[in-house]
Structure 1
Amino acid sequence: MNQENGSKAQPLLEMRVLVYDILRRTFLEEPTKEFLNLIMDKEFTEEFPFAEENEEIHEGIAQIAVFLQEHDLKSEKEYNDLLWDYTRLFIGPDKLPAPLWESAYLNKERLLFQEQTLKVRHAYLEYQFLPKYFRQEADDHLGLELDFMYQLSELSLNYLQHQDFMGLRKVLTDQKTFLQEHLLKWVPELTAKILDSSNLSFYPGMAKILNGYLTLDLEALVELLDMDYESVSK
């Protein structure tokens, strides 16, 4: 194994797991107190990965920092206000300002469970990834798509550690394709809707982090795929 490339790749792959874990938990379900404790930790805003490399991530982190200064999420009222903002934006019961399904952006009629959903499901099934709420929640929900990227990020790290470079290249290529064909096609519009519609600044901040990171991750995947892992024998 090329030791230089391996030593460069591992921290980046580990960071991808960390970031996708945070992003999937942000959008997959209503904010839990456990999740918010993670966000309230100073390390989240002071040491979030790639904040200096991407202006949108930097802006999102700064917005979250200000939000945390102005709101005590340990207060039941403040916590419930944040829950309501998530519910109003992403769940209902009224018309959703910022629906979290790919089909709502890429389907002409803005209907769910359409062609986009089936394409996403096909990508999942190649890795035997079965969403938690299969057949109850459309497969192209943002939280599930981010969860899929998280699972593949863990798998790519595992392949590197076991020096399975063929498996590593395939899973990195599939992640790059999934970003290009799915997430990057609709998350920018979703981000704009969240920025326009939120009552609180928490989800606009997280949406900026999400949008900035997806763009940055595509560059990271290109870099990872360009590395020559096999040029030095094990």
Structure 2
Amino acid sequence: MKQEIENRIAIYALISRLMLVEVDETFLENIEKDERLLSFFPNYRDWSKRKELSRKELIDQYYNVDFTNLFLMHLVPYESFYTRDDQMIESGGDNPIVQLYNDLDFRVELDTARVVSADHIGVELEFMYMLCVALQKALAAEDKDGICELLQVQRAFLKEHLLEWAPLFLINAKRESRTPLYHDGAELALEFLLSDFEYVTDKLTTYCGDEA
């Protein structure tokens, strides 16, 4: 399970960062120098413009434009928009996800993250990243009760939150994307969330004896 958790941490860190703020040269370099990460972005890897323009030019002319289109203007990357009947973004403390974050000591700096609500897809993915880091620590401490409790929290969060709305957003983002980076990123996030739910469910059954 150790290597699997490390892989989950890496992917949640990658996709949450991609969807929370605009990319920078360091982010792109980290993808490009890691063959395994780059394999998740096949269209980006083979994009001819990467050979024609510098990273800074690509960011300024393409990636920032695409990010703005997908996450700030044309699409709405917030859970409450998809789950509330009135399609309003629940930005206050009444949002049930805020209480969940507080219960698990996860703090969202909305201003720093430049999001209007804690149920932004990038924040929810970062929450899963945090839960995976906690799971890694529980595994290192051989704390079976802690491991099983964290797996239960992860499964519930995926089932009751991310998988309730993120697939629809990610399908739309993939369709609306104008660059291979965000096209591949949306596809990666979609496929990973679905497979990760199956993984967590399987681990709960085999490791914890939980038939949830």
Using the alignment, how far apart are the partners of 2:124 and 2:55 within structure 1?
Answer: 32
Q: CA offsets per residue over residues 81-124 of structure 1, 9 Å max, x none?
A: 21111012212xxxx32221111212222211169971211221
How many correspondences in the alignment? Answer: 204
Q: CA offsets per residue over residues 16-63 of structure 1, 9 Å max, x none?
A: 1111111111111111211111122251224x5xxxxxxxxxxxx322
Q: 2:38 aligns with which of 38, 45, 58?
A: 45
Change over 3 Å in CA distance of 1:203–1:38 after alignment to 2? same
State the AA in 1 paired with 2:71.
F
TM-score, structure 2 normalization:
0.87
Change over 3 Å in CA distance of 1:188–1:228 after alignment to 2? closer
Match of 2:200 in 1: 221
TM-score, structure 1 normalization:
0.79
Using the alignment, how far apart are the partners of 1:184 and 1:115 within structure 2?
Answer: 22
Give RMSD over aligned pairs: 2.4
User: Is 1:205 matched up with 2:184?
Assistant: yes
Match of 1:31 in 2: 23
How far apart are 1:137 and its partner, in Å? 2.9
Q: Which has the higher contact order (CA 8 A, sep 6+)?
A: 1
Q: How do 1:180-191 residues align onto structure 2 when only pairs under 5 Å count?
A: 180-191=159-170
Is the 2:177–2:183 contact (alpha carbons within 8 Å) kept by the matching residues of 1?
Answer: yes
Using the alignment, how far apart are the partners of 1:133 and 1:114 within structure 2?
Answer: 10
Using the alignment, how far apart are the partners of 2:115 and 2:18 within structure 1?
Answer: 20
Q: How do 1:147-158 residues align onto structure 2 when only pairs under 5 Å count?
A: 147-158=126-137
User: Is 1:129 matched up with 2:106?
Assistant: yes
Is the 1:116–1:140 contact (alpha carbons within 8 Å) kept by the matching residues of 2?
Answer: no
Using the alignment, how far apart are the partners of 2:208 and 2:80 within structure 1?
Answer: 38
Using the alignment, how far apart are the partners of 1:184 and 1:116 within structure 2?
Answer: 22
Using the alignment, how far apart are the partners of 1:197 and 1:136 within structure 2?
Answer: 20
Change over 3 Å in CA distance of 1:119–1:131 after alignment to 2? same
Is the 1:117–1:139 contact (alpha carbons within 8 Å) kept by the matching residues of 2?
Answer: no
| Structure 1 range deviating more: 210-219 or 130-139 | 130-139
Match of 2:43 in 1: 63
Of Structure 1 and Structure 2, the greater helix share is in 2
Change over 3 Å in CA distance of 1:136–1:222 after alignment to 2? closer
User: Is 1:102 matched up with 2:79?
Assistant: yes
Is the 1:107–1:114 contact (alpha carbons within 8 Å) kept by the matching residues of 2?
Answer: no
Percent same amino acid at aligned positions?
25
User: Is 1:74 matched up with 2:54?
Assistant: yes
Change over 3 Å in CA distance of 1:76–1:14 after alignment to 2? closer
Q: 2:6 aligns with which of 3, 14, 29?
A: 14
Unmatched runs of 5 consecutive residues or more in structure 2: none
User: Is 1:84 matched up with 2:84?
Assistant: no
Match of 1:4 in 2: none
Using the alignment, how far apart are the partners of 1:213 and 1:117 within structure 2?
Answer: 29
State the AA in 2 paired with 1:13.
I
